[in-house]
């Protein structure tokens, strides 16, 4: 299978001198196209920093980040902005929807900015239906439940058929039933549409939705294992990697 994402020797520190915090340390990672994988680690282990580096929202101090055959470390800003908009789908913990736009407009926004919304109308209709958002598209975010808001954000991330979807604690602001439902939908999106998904979570139940988990400890990947869809397996392997 073709690799969709590969990082090698990735490093990122914040601050200077005695205030320096190394957030990502010699992180090497790879994932094939069509995979659904998760990154787990304690708070402060560098999960968000790692995801933001791959998304091109932060630039690394050193190392390589290849997304779909393109090196994004050191890519000029304007080129990176376009690449991110077209090839990377982002899902955040706090949904990041625009309150004055309807659900439909939020979903279409990145494509409108890119001038390609019309090319993706069939895809958007398919996503709205797959994500259970029929009848909700003319609502504004404040008229939607947390779970529905996050499903709008998932549709927005997927609308332009990105190379990879990156999700940072996507269930962090949801109650358990909505979190469970979001996990099932991410699995469905991965299996039915073949979307490549990399999700960060510290929750074993959520991470078990992915097929494989990678453990980040002090900014470095120290273990990786198949989940077999079992939260118990994830918990056990995660704790073993932490001692």
**Binder of ligand ADP out of 20, 21, 70, 226 (CB under 6 A):** 21
Structure-token pair, residue 130: 């797959």
The least distance separating ligand ADP from the CB of residue 29, rounded to whole angstroms, comes to 14
Residue 39, strand partner residues: 200, 214
- Residue 47 contacts ligand ADP per CB under 6 A: yes
Q: Are 198 and 166 in contact (CB under 8 A)?
A: yes
Residues 27-46 that bind ligand ADP (CB under 6 A): 41, 43-46
**Per-residue x/- track, 23-62, Mg ion (CB under 5 A):** ------------------------xx--------------
Q: Where in the chain does DSSP place strands (E)? A: 3-14, 21-32, 36-40, 62-67, 70-71, 88-91, 164-168, 197-200, 212-217, 220-226
Per rule CB under 6 A, count of chain residues that contact ligand ADP: 12
Q: Are 95 and 170 in contact (CB under 8 A)?
A: no
- Our CB check for ligand ADP shows the closer of 23 and 207 to be 23
Residue 67, strand partner residues: 5, 70
Positions that interact with ligand ADP (CB under 6 A)? 14-15, 21, 23, 41, 43-49
Positions that interact with Mg ion (CB under 5 A)? 47-48
């Amino acid at each position: 299978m073709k690799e969709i994402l590969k990082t090698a020797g990735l490093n990122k520190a914040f601050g200077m001198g005695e205030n320096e915090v190394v957030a990502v340390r010699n992180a090497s990672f790879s994932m094939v196209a069509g995979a659904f994988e998760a990154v787990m680690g304690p708070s402060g282990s560098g999960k968000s920093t790692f995801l933001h580096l791959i998304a091109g929202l932060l630039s690394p101090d050193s190392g390589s980040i290849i997304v779909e055959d393109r090196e994004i470390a050191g890519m000029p800003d304007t080129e990176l902005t376009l690449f991110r908009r077209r090839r990377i789908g982002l899902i955040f913990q706090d949904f990041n929807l625009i309150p004055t736009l309807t659900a439909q407009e939020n979903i279409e926004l990145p494509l409108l900015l890119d001038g390609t919304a019309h090319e993706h109308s069939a895809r958007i209709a398919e996503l709205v239906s797959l994500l259970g958002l029929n009848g909700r598209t003319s609502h504004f975010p404040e008229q939607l439940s947390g779970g529905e808001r996050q499903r709008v954000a998932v549709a927005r991330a997927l609308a332009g058929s990105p190379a990879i979807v990156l999700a940072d604690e996507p269930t962090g602001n949801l109650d358990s039933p909505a979190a469970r439902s979001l996990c099932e939908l991410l699995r469905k999106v991965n299996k039915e549409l073949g979307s490549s998904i990399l999700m960060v979570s510290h929750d074993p139940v959520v991470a078990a939705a992915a097929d494989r988990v990678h453990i980040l400890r002090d900014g470095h990947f120290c273990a990786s294992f198949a989940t077999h869809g079992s939260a118990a397996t994830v918990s056990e392997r995660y704790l073993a990697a932490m001692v």
